[in-house]
């Protein structure tokens, strides 16, 4: 197959997320008969960030769809650190709540990391508590960071071999890049992490069998940077405004040109975004089953 005629197959995160939601709904229906209550997720939002509000309504709709009770709380911008810490302490003790999530970004006067540390590790729906990240480093069972877990699940669904493959992760955030690299190591890929200070990024990405872009830079990865037949996963979600004033979502990868080179590619939107929400629901249900089996 020549480079000119090749068109990548789409890794459809939206379709897989719908499948996972259906499976979770069946699990919840069955478990609820024994347990007597549904799983519960509490999403805490502070202030009036429109993007955050949209994400939260999306999460709450997904919860309703599978039968997870929402215990969302929306706080005014001026809410203090202590007030939020007290709310988290209450939710940690609340048996109806199995997952707790603080929606980022927070107003500048609040310390997000300190709040995250207050969440009970077994209710850490985002999989970002140091205890859960530590479990990941050690290869132990625990709640996994939603976005990278969604990437791995999507690659598994399409039976993409990872064992021994060269994987390059562009981005080193604690949200995606670092846990992504660890999860790829867990499935026996050989992993390189690149970032904004990396010299000659193109040479590194051209060696990748699996290329995961999570830098938050629109169009960072072009077709010239991608190996023919690579699997390309776009974790970037960037809102850009064109010359006519219309805004749209784009990833970190130049989709139209890269699709001519890659074997598989994820779209933005419709790729990893829905998988992140599916893994959030999965984490909440896992916590629920774990808590009620003890």
Summarize pLDDT for 175-210 with one digit per residue, the tens: 999 999 999 999 999 999 999 899 999 999 999 999
Task: Average the pLDDT over 108-116 and give the result.
Answer: 96
Q: State the pTM of this model.
A: 0.94
pLDDT number for residue 2: 44
Domain formed by 145-273, architecture: 3-Layer(aba) Sandwich (3.40)
| Confidence category of residue 140, pLDDT binned at 50, 70, 90 | very high
Delimiting residues of CATH 3.40.50.10860 domain(s) in the chain: 36-120
Domain range 36-120, its CATH number among 3.10.20.30, 3.30.70.260, 3.40.50.10860, 3.40.50.450: 3.40.50.10860
Catalytic annotation present for 126: yes
Catalytic annotation present for 19: no
Residues at the annotated binding site for NADP(+)?
Answer: 171-173, 237
Choose the catalytic residue: 12, 124, 126, 234: 126
Residues at the annotated binding site?
Answer: 171-173, 237
Reported as half-sphere exposure (CB side, CA atoms, 13 A), residue 118 has a value of 20
Delimiting residues of CATH 3.40.50.720 domain(s) in the chain: 145-273
Choose the catalytic residue: 12, 21, 103, 122: 103
pLDDT > 90 in the chain, percent? 89
> Across the chain, what does the average pLDDT equal?
95
pLDDT number for residue 1: 40
């Amino acid at each position: 197959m020549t480079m000119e005629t090749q068109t990548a197959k789409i890794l459809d995160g939206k379709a897989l997320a719908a499948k996972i939601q259906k499976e979770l709904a069946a699990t919840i229906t069955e478990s609820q008969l024994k347990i007597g209550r549904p799983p519960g997720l509490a999403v805490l939002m502070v202030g009036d960030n429109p993007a955050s509000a949209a994400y939260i309504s999306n999460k709450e709709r997904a919860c309703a769809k599978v039968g997870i009770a929402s215990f969302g709380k929306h706080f005014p911008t001026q809410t203090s650190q202590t007030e939020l810490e007290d709310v988290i302490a209450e939710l940690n003790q609340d048996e109806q709540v199995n997952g707790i999530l603080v929606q980022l970004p927070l107003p500048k006067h609040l310390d997000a990391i300190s709040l995250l540390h207050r969440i009970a590790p077994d209710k850490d729906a985002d999989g970002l508590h140091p205890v859960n990240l530590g479990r990941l480093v050690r290869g132990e069972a625990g709640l996994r960071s939603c976005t990278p877990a969604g990437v791995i699940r999507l690659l598994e669904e399409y039976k993409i071999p990872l064992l021994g493959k060269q994987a390059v992760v562009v981005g080193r955030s604690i949200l995606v890049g670092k846990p992504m690299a660890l999860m790829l190591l867990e499935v026996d890929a050989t992993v390189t992490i690149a970032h904004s200070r990396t010299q000659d990024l193109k040479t590194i990405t051209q060696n990748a069998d699996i290329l995961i872009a999570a830098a938050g830079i629109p169009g960072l990865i072009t077709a010239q940077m991608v190996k023919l037949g690579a699997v390309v996963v776009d974790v970037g979600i960037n809102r850009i405004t064109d010359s006519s004033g219309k805004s749209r979502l784009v990833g970190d990868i130049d989709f139209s040109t890269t699709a001519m080179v890659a074997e598989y590619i994820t779209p933005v939107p419709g790729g990893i975004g829905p998988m992140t929400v599916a893994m959030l629901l999965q984490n909440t249900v896992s916590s629920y089953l774990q808590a009620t089996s003890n």
